């Protein structure tokens, strides 16, 4: 289990244990974190799992692949630290990873 912190757009924090191997999107769905929809189930085909990665974590998680980069174009209010959470596989070395949800996913 790896502790992941999700912070809603309104500032509400959720610190939860996500099993290694699940994606950050799947972790959010498991704990019913508001603000992450994951409509396509993790196929990188909907962009409704958009999150902002907290400072200092972008370099520590696996880099984005082209499919994710293309799909991210469809997300709302994309920033430098935007990622699709279904493409972030949770690993042991991600203890404390912090992800913020955008104002909306659609
Ligand atoms: Fe659809 Fe991530 S869940 S792109």
The predicted pLDDT at position 19 comes to 97
Q: Sorting pLDDT into bands at 50, 70 and 90, what band is 103?
A: very high
Q: Sorting pLDDT into bands at 50, 70 and 90, what band is 15?
A: very high
The predicted pLDDT at position 29 comes to 98
Mean pLDDT of the 11-32 span: 98
Ligand 1 atom nearest residue 40's Cα? 1
Computed over its alpha carbons, how large is the radius of gyration of the chain? 12
CB-defined site of ligand 1, < 6 Å: 25, 38-40, 42, 44-49, 71, 84, 86
> Domain 2-100 is of which CATH architecture?
Roll (3.10)
Distance CA(92)–CA(82), nearest Å, equals: 22
Centre of ligand 1 to C-alpha 38, Å, is 5
Question: Which residue's CA is minimally distant from atom 4 of ligand 1?
Answer: 44
């Amino acid at each position: 289990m790896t502790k992941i912190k999700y912070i809603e757009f309104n500032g509400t924090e959720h610190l939860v244990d996500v099993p290694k191997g699940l994606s950050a999107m799947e972790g959010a769905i498991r704990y019913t974190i508001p603000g992450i929809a994951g409509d396509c189930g993790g196929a990188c085909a909907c962009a409704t799992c958009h999150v902002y990665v907290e400072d200092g974590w972008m370099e520590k998680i696996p880099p984005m692949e082209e499919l994710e980069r293309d799909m991210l174009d469809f997300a709302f209010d994309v920033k430098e630290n935007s990622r699709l959470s279904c493409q972030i596989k949770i690993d042991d070395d991600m203890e404390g990873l912090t992800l913020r949800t955008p104002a909306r996913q659609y």
